[in-house]
Structure 1
Amino acid sequence: MNAPTPAPIPRWVHYHKQARELELGYSSGDTYRLPVELLRVYSPSAEVRGHGGDSAVLQVGKKHVGLENITQSGNYALKLSFDDGHNSGLYSWEYLFELATHQQAYWDNYLQRLADAGASREPTSIHFKSL
């Protein structure tokens, strides 16, 4: 049996700050733009995925999240630091390619989970009253 073909490694990565999208460019000429919100809610960290089974934590209120920093981790992944303080989890080239090539399915699943939970993509805000 043949081993699975490894996911391609991007030749370049660019963060579009205003659009809040991470663009990946491949030697094939293919490019993908991943919304930062999608990357955040599908973080490979234990904080988001949980510690096995059905313990994943639904991420809510992440509509306007952005990136503060992007660093390469070895030759196999990116470490993304988000402006909401989340910075754990390594995004392997395989995982980024999976998110990029199946983006709509991931997005639809996320929106359905939010709807099922009665939750929102909008951040919650705290209103203070003067005493």
Structure 2
Amino acid sequence: MSDRPWPKRLSFKGSDRVLDIAFEDGAQFAIPFELLRVESPSAEVQGHAPDQKKLVAGKSGVRVTAADPVGRYAVRLSFDDGHDSGIYSWDYLHELGENADAIMQAYRERLKAAGLPH
């Protein structure tokens, strides 16, 4: 048995703009679409080195338009702003879910410091 988190349910709630995900380890998360978009694991957002990460603003109303499986390890999410290059591993979704509040708080602080809209 693997120690890696394995999803048992994945559903998108457009009205709440959240991804509901439940894992076999008992963890359950409601991850905001905004968080998924601004923390996309794509090179477009993350860059190719830690100092290249982009601050993505104005995504509070973003919606997920598609979710396509990538092998057995991940899902590729497409958003209504055209972004579709992020491949979200189950590990990454578990990490985002566990730390969503802290990540969103830090993101909003970075936006404010940069004078950018939420």
**Which TM-score bucket, shorter chain as reference?**
over 0.9
CA distance in 2: counterparts of 1:80 and 1:39, whole angstroms = 9
2:16 paired residue number: 19
Count of aligned residue pairs for this structure pair: 117
Structure 1-normalised TM-score? 0.84
* % same residue: 42
Q: Which structure 1 residue ranges, 4+ long, deviate > 6 Å from structure 2?
A: none
CA distance in 2: counterparts of 1:79 and 1:96, whole angstroms = 11
Q: Deviations over 1:60-118 (max 9, x none)?
A: 00010001101111110010000000000210111100000111111111011101101
Letter in 2 for 1:21: V
> Does structure 2 conserve the Cα–Cα contact (< 8 Å) formed by 1:7 and 1:97?
no
Secondary structure, in 3 states, of the residue corresponding to 2:112? Answer: helix
* Higher alpha-carbon Rg: 1
Alignment partner of 1:40 is 2:37: yes
1:74 paired residue number: 71
1:104 paired residue number: 101
Alignment partner of 1:7 is 2:4: yes
Letter in 1 for 2:42: S
Secondary structure, in 3 states, of the residue corresponding to 1:99? Answer: helix
Q: Quick check: which one's helix share is greater?
A: 2
Q: Quick check: which one's strand share is greater?
A: 2
CA distance in 1: counterparts of 2:67 and 2:114, whole angstroms = 31
Secondary structure, in 3 states, of the residue corresponding to 1:11? Answer: strand
Letter in 1 for 2:20: E
CA distance in 1: counterparts of 2:26 and 2:38, whole angstroms = 27
Instruction: Give the root-mean-square deviation of aligned CA atoms.
Output: 1.2
CA distance in 1: counterparts of 2:48 and 2:25, whole angstroms = 36
Q: Note the C-alpha offset of 1:42.
A: 0.1
Residue in structure 1 matching 2:80, options 57, 73, 83: 83
Unmatched tracts of structure 2, length 5 or more: none
Unmatched tracts of structure 1, length 5 or more: 122-131
CA distance in 1: counterparts of 2:101 and 2:4, whole angstroms = 19
Structure 2-normalised TM-score? 0.93
CA distance in 2: counterparts of 1:107 and 1:96, whole angstroms = 14
